[in-house]
Amino acid sequence: MTPLLDVRNLKTFFFTSGGLIKAVRGIDFSIDAGQTLALVGESGCGKSMTALSVLRLVPPPGRIVEGKILFEGEDLMRLPRPEMRRIRGNRISMVFQEPMTSLNPVFRIGDQIGEVLRLHKGLDAEAAAEAAADLLTQVGIPSARQRLRDYPHNLSGGMRQRVVIAMALAGDPQLLIADEPTTALDVTIQAQILELLQSLQRERTMATLLITHDFGVVAETADRVCVMYGGLVMEDAPVTEIFANPGHPYTQGLLACVPRLGEHKKRLVPISGQLPAGGGGEDGCPFLERCPKPFAPCRDKLPPLREITPGHQVRCWRE
């Protein structure tokens, strides 16, 4: 079966006045229809730029310099712009961390959802309002008809995120890209939104590319996980494998450094050092400076992603 999305050797660089920043340094991953792939990492690891690259929305001075983005076998990199525009918000849509980045404060939410429906589905105003109310009901907003006339500021953060999800669903996407969709929300509201996203995904057999730094969210929602560091995928495995047998020292470090409910650790085990500032050399492992067990080859040569068990790849020279 061809995967729904297959990203091959993607490189996205930023050509800044201060020099070249290699935000994404050649990554590969794929998502099957209906699956959830989580891209996990800390700030600056390239996870958000990867997501924006898939939609070809990398802001200047950034540019995709190499790679293939195969969506249902078709390379999005080769599509003319108008074609790409038809895919965005339609077959692939995106939800951001902060709902107000996707909502226009001066338009009623009914008009904002309606716009998507009119553009992508060719509905007239009345049918669009009808469909918008239906979408709001699906995302769990009570008395949807009245809410259509609300402005974003009338709604709470959790409700706004529901509206953004409704907008993202308007084109019946096959792939939803969700960039930290619950990070700005309180824990009880986060639980509601995760539940909503999962049930929508089941009903619609929609695939999700989930960008997050939270391993709790990963454990509860992902099928596969790619752990990113320094613009590279360091580990790629099914979710149970990542938690049961993390193969990369960085993954191991991340899983060990967070307190978990009911664990009663006396002391946390941090990863030493600082996050890489961007840029950086081509040679060697990007995690070298912070790695608890580096050895000679790590300095000179970037380790390749190697399969350690079927379906579980690790970018490390250690066995």
Partner 1 sequence: MDPLLEVQDLRKSFWVKSDRFGGPKQELRAVNGVSFALHPGETLGLVGESGCGKSTTGKLIMRLLESDGGRVNFEGQNILELSARQIRPLRRRMQMIFQDPYSSLNPRARVGDIVGEAFRIHGTAGRGERQDKVIELLRTVGLTAEQYHRYPHEFSGGQRQRIGIARALALHPSLIIADEPVSALDLSIQAQVVNLLQDIQEEFSLTYLFIAHDLSLIEHISDRVAVMYLGQIVELAPSDEIYAHPRHPYTEALLNAVPVTDPRKRKKRIALGGEVPSPLNPPPGCIFHPRCPYARDVCRKEPPPLEEKKPAHVAACHFSDEVGRLRRA
Tell me whether residue 64 or residue 210 sits nearer to partner 1 (CB atom).
210
Closest contact distance (angstroms) between CB of 277 and partner 1 is: 8
Tell me whether residue 89 or residue 249 sits nearer to partner 1 (CB atom).
249
DSSP letter assigned to residue 201: H
Closest contact distance (angstroms) between CB of 272 and partner 1 is: 8
Tell me whether residue 176 or residue 222 sits nearer to partner 1 (CB atom).
222
| Amino acid identity at 32 | D
Closest contact distance (angstroms) between CB of 29 and partner 1 is: 18
Tell me whether residue 96 or residue 287 sits nearer to partner 1 (CB atom).
287
DSSP letter assigned to residue 287: T
Two tokens, residue 79: 């599509």
- Beta-carbon count within 10 A of 106 CB: 8
- In the chain, what is the straight-line distance between the N-terminal and C-terminal CA atoms, in Å? 31
Q: Which of 271, 208, 279 has its CA nearest to residue 18?
A: 279
* Residue 15 near residue 63, CB atoms below 8 Å: yes
Two tokens, residue 85: 């525009």
DSSP letter assigned to residue 129: H
What's the CA gap between 244 and 121, in Å, rounded?
Answer: 44
Tell me whether residue 120 or residue 147 sits nearer to partner 1 (CB atom).
147
Closest contact distance (angstroms) between CB of 293 and partner 1 is: 16
Closest contact distance (angstroms) between CB of 208 and partner 1 is: 15
* Residue 239 near residue 40, CB atoms below 8 Å: no
Residues that bind partner 1 (CB under 8 A): 42-43, 156, 158-159, 186-192, 194-195, 213-220, 222, 239-240, 243-244, 253-255, 257-265, 267-272, 274-275, 277, 290
Half-sphere exposure of 26 (CA within 13 A, CB side): 6
Tell me whether residue 128 or residue 209 sits nearer to partner 1 (CB atom).
209
Tell me whether residue 17 or residue 274 sits nearer to partner 1 (CB atom).
274
Closest contact distance (angstroms) between CB of 31 and partner 1 is: 17
Strands 36-40 and 92-95: unpaired
Closest contact distance (angstroms) between CB of 258 and partner 1 is: 6
Q: At what angle do helices 109-121 and 157-169 cross, to 10 degrees?
A: 10
